[in-house]
Amino acid sequence: MKAAVLAVQGDFIEHENMLRRLGVETMEIRQSADLSEPFDALVLPGGESTVQGKLLNELDLMKPLHDKIAAGLPTLATCAGLILLAEHIENDGSYLGTLPVTVRRNAYGRQLGSFYTESQWQGIGKIPMTFIRAPFITAADPTIVRATVDDHIVGVTYRNQIALSFHPELNDDLRIYEQFIKMADRN
Ligand code: GLN
C-alpha cells in the first residue's frame, strides 16, 4: 500500500514516519504533477488551514484532490486537514468540502488552546490526543461520531474519510493509522 501525504505546509513528515512504521510506503504531494503517480490513500496533515487552502488553489490541487476524495479515496485528515475536508466552517469559507460536518476553527482559543488528554475512540479504546489550536466539530450526524472530549466532537468516520481534531502523529500510538490502513485495504 502506498499513502500520499499532502506536503505543502504543516507536519507532514511526522505522518510519514508513523505510516512507515506500519510498513506503508509514502509519497509527498507538493504539486499537481505528483498526482500522476498512483497511490492508495491520502493524508491531510495539521498546520494552518488558511495557508494550506490558499496553496491548494494556487497549485491547482484543490479540484483534483476533491474529486479523488469524493470518488472514495481513503483519507485521513488531522486538525487543519479536518478543516479542509469540512463541508461547513463556522469562521471561514469551505475548501474541499467532502465531509458532512460543521467545524469551528481555533475552537479552544488561539493561545490557551493546546492540551493533551486521553479519550475513547469508538472501536479502538482510549487513545492519546494532543490538541494544538485545534478545531472541533459543532454539527455532525451522530452515526459518524467516533470520539468526543468534554461533549465536543473531535473524531468522525464518514465513508472513506477519517477526520480528527487532534494530532495522532505526535503520540506513540499507531491505532488510528491501523484503522486507516484497514479501511484502505478494504478499498
Ligand atoms: N488552527 C489551525 C487552523 O485553523 C489548525 C491547527 C493545527 O492544525 N494544529 O488551521
Q: Tell me what percent of the residues of the chain surpass a pLDDT of 90.
A: 96
Q: Tell me what percent of the residues of the chain surpass a pLDDT of 70.
A: 99
Residue 168 has pLDDT above 90, yes or no: yes
Please answer whether residues 128 and 149 qualify as being in contact, where contact means their C-beta atoms are separated by less than 8 angstroms: no
Cell of 163: 477526520
Query: Model pTM?
Result: 0.97
Ligand 1 lined by 80 (C-beta under 6 Å): yes
Cell of 79: 486538525
Measure the N-to-C terminal CA separation of the chain; round to a whole number of Å: 11
Q: Indicate the burial class of 44 (C-beta count within 10 angstroms; 0-12, 13-18, 19 or more).
A: buried
Nearest ligand 1 atom, CA 45: 8
pLDDT digits (tens, 9 = 90+) for 27-54: 999 999 999 999 999 999 999 999 999 9
Please answer whether residues 122 and 162 qualify as being in contact, where contact means their C-beta atoms are separated by less than 8 angstroms: no
Q: What are phi and psi of 149, to 5 degrees?
A: -135, 125
> Does domain 2-186 fall into CATH 3.20.20.70?
no
Task: Give the chain's mean pLDDT.
Answer: 97
Residue 182 has pLDDT above 90, yes or no: yes
Q: What pLDDT is attached to residue 113?
A: 77
Residue 162 has pLDDT above 90, yes or no: yes
ipTM of the complex: 0.96
What secondary structure does DSSP assign to 11-70, as a single string?
Answer: SHHHHHHHHHHTT-EEEEE-SGGGGGS--SEEEE--S-HHHHHHHHHHTT-HHHHHHHHH
pLDDT digits (tens, 9 = 90+) for 48-69: 999 999 999 999 999 999 999 9
Q: What pLDDT is attached to residue 10?
A: 97
Question: 9, 15, 44, 48: which to mutate for ligand 1, most atoms within 8 A of CB?
Answer: 48
Nearest ligand 1 atom, CA 105: 4
* CA 76 from centre of chain: 4
111: amino acid identity, one letter? Q
Positions annotated as catalytic residues are 79, 167, 169
Ligand 1 lined by 146 (C-beta under 6 Å): no
pLDDT digits (tens, 9 = 90+) for 64-102: 999 999 999 999 999 999 999 999 999 999 999 999 999
Average pLDDT over residues 4-14: 98
Q: What pLDDT is attached to residue 180?
A: 98
Give me ligand 1 centre to Cα 15, in Å: 16
Q: What pLDDT is attached to residue 187?
A: 84
Q: What pLDDT is attached to residue 109?
A: 83
Residue 112 has pLDDT above 70, yes or no: no
Question: 55, 105, 154: which to mutate for ligand 1, most atoms within 8 A of CB?
Answer: 105
